[in-house]
Amino acid sequence: MAETVQTHPSPPSPGGIRGFVSDWASDQQAFKNVSWGKAMMWIFLLSDTFIFGCFLLAYMTARMSTVVPWPNPSEVFALNIAGHDIPLILIAIMTFVLISSSGTMAMAVNFGYRRNRRMTALMMLLTALFGATFVGMQAFEWTKLILEGVRPWGNPWGAPQFGATFFMITGFHGTHVTIGVIFLLIIARKVWRGDFDTERRGFFTSRKGRYEVVEITGLYWHFVDLVWVFIFAFFYLW
């Protein structure tokens, strides 16, 4: 990544509200100790927040305004294990898988800044594995629901909007997880090859990579987990 050329050495910026005002009023760079890559990832995540926010809002509006009872997610997503109907168990396992992946990702970032090449790559691969497991379980869930007759325009248990919102929200989230897994695998390969130690230039960008890329990948991955926290609360538990 290109180094920013500071034409005027900036005085040490104060903290707190005063620091916020002086950062935003300053020359060249508002986010002082954050690289452009990290700032842009945050801004992308903010825009993604609005997308998922609007999906959940659409779901809320449909559910609040329907005169037909909403299907009970606790029963819809129950699994019959050893003769007992356990409510929401698959979703609970998916939640734990995703939280585990968030933990391993945090470890990967930590090992990255310690310049531990092997552990960083291994932790990222483990994260990708958890992510792939999550997507697999989601595919299982979709298959089960489709076989039970859930369609975007109707379902056997109640309000027809249930299927549309379910496929839309979980589908979009699953896509994000899938993209995250691909992103993780690409960066893990670079870490494993030692690109960030030898400052090898990237194939597309011709820029030198740094271990900060691991943290930026981590930001995306934690965001995917964050979105799931909201989906779990509003769609599955409510």
Partner 1 sequence: MAQVTVDSPRQAAVQKAVHAEHQQHPIGLYLVVWGLLFVLSVCSYLVDYFGLQGYLRWSLILIFMVLKAGLIVAVFMHMAWERLALLYAILLPPIAILVFVWLMTAESHYTLLTRMAFFGTAPGN
Interacting residue ranges for partner 1, rule: CB under 8 A: 9, 11-13, 15-17, 19-20, 22-25, 30-34, 39, 42-43, 45-46, 49-50, 53-54, 57, 60-61, 64-68, 74, 87-88, 92, 95-96, 99, 102-103, 105-107, 109-110, 113-114, 211-212, 215, 218-219, 222-223, 225-226, 229-230, 232-233, 236-238
C-beta of residue 161 within 8 angstroms of C-beta of residue 62: yes
Least CB distance to partner 1 at residue 187 (A): 16
Q: Which is nearer to partner 1, 49 or 133 (CB)?
A: 49
Q: 202-226: string of b/e by CB count within 10 Å (b at 16+)?
A: eeeeeeebbbbbbbbbbbbbbbbbb
Q: Which is nearer to partner 1, 88 or 150 (CB)?
A: 88
Q: Which is nearer to partner 1, 64 or 82 (CB)?
A: 64
Q: Which is nearer to partner 1, 123 or 188 (CB)?
A: 123
Contacts of 237 (CB under 8 A, 6+ apart): 73, 88
Least CB distance to partner 1 at residue 29 (A): 10
Contacts of 81 (CB under 8 A, 6+ apart): 89
DSSP class of residue 108 equals H
Least CB distance to partner 1 at residue 217 (A): 12
Q: Which is nearer to partner 1, 48 or 192 (CB)?
A: 48
**3-class SS at 2?**
coil
Give the C-alpha distances (Å, rounded to integers) separating 116 from 111, 209, 222, 229: 5, 15, 21, 31
| 79-81/84-86 β-pairing | antiparallel
Least CB distance to partner 1 at residue 34 (A): 6
